[in-house]
């Protein structure tokens, strides 16, 4: 089995690949006109799909272990859980079908940023949550690549998709967070005590 070292605060710049790539293009996020699944890629996508619940649970456990207890609060636990589940499903779906995220899915990612801002969660905590999701999914990916004997091209593509999805999600969530924070600061009710 490959050893995967967590990179808790590292992100890449540049344009996103994989599940979020089409969100920057003027076309529909549906399946591209030409999509040919590498058999290993489809096999890996199905294997990851079967482990979505486990990946979501392991990410939540990693957040608690990292001291991000505010993510388990009554107000944030469900949206964070749903976000991590959505992200894992999107990666598996892309590997199987080539379908990127929908506008509804991208909007949900932004809503988590809004929720975080409303309840005083820091952008750093939300970002660490995404990076824990990424690291957990990369570890599961490595396990499945070894178990299935997946070739380098498919495993490299899946790694890029997971990393790019985390990076793109962080940016989308942070933009929504900043927008919500600006709105709260400029609101006529800001500073008034009820």
Residue 142, domain member (yes or no)? yes
| Length, in residues, of the chain | 194
pLDDT at 193: 41
pLDDT tens, residue by residue, 106-142: 999 999 999 999 998 999 999 999 999 999 999 999 9
Q: How far apart are CA 71 and CA 80, in angstroms?
A: 7
Q: Is residue 95 part of a domain?
A: yes
- Give me the CATH number covering residue 150: 1.10.132
Residue 112 falls inside a structural domain: yes
Mean pLDDT of 92-105: 94
Residues 6+ apart with CB under 8 A from 167: 11, 12, 16
Residues 6+ apart with CB under 8 A from 52: 85, 88, 89, 92
Residue 7 inside a domain? The answer is no
Supply the pLDDT for residue 124. Answer: 93
Which structural domain, as residue segments, surrounds residue 177?
Answer: 53-186
Assigned token pair, 2: 């490959």
Count the domains in the chain: 1
Residue 82 pLDDT exceeds 60: yes
Q: Confirm whether 143 is domain-assigned.
A: yes
């Amino acid at each position: 089995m490959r050893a995967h070292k967590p990179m808790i605060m590292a992100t890449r710049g540049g344009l996103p690949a994989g599940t979020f790539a089409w969100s920057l293009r003027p076309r529909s996020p549906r399946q591209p006109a030409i999509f040919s699944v590498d058999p290993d890629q489809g096999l890996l996508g199905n294997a990851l799909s079967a482990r979505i619940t486990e990946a979501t649970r392991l990410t939540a456990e990693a957040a608690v272990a990292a001291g991000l207890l505010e993510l388990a609060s009554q107000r944030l636990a469900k949206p964070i859980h749903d976000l991590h589940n959505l992200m894992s499903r999107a990666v598996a779906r892309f590997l199987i079908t080539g379908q990127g995220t929908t506008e509804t899915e991208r909007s949900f990612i932004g809503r988590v940023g809004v929720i975080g801002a409303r309840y005083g969660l820091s952008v750093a905590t939300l970002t660490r949550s995404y990076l824990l999701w990424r690291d957990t999914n990369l570890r599961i990916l490595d396990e499945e690549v070894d178990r299935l004997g997946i070739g380098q091209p498919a495993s490299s593509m899946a790694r890029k998709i997971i990393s790019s999805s985390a990076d793109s999600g962080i940016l989308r969530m942070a933009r929504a967070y900043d927008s919500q924070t600006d709105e709260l600061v400029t609101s006529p009710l800001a500073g008034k005590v009820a």
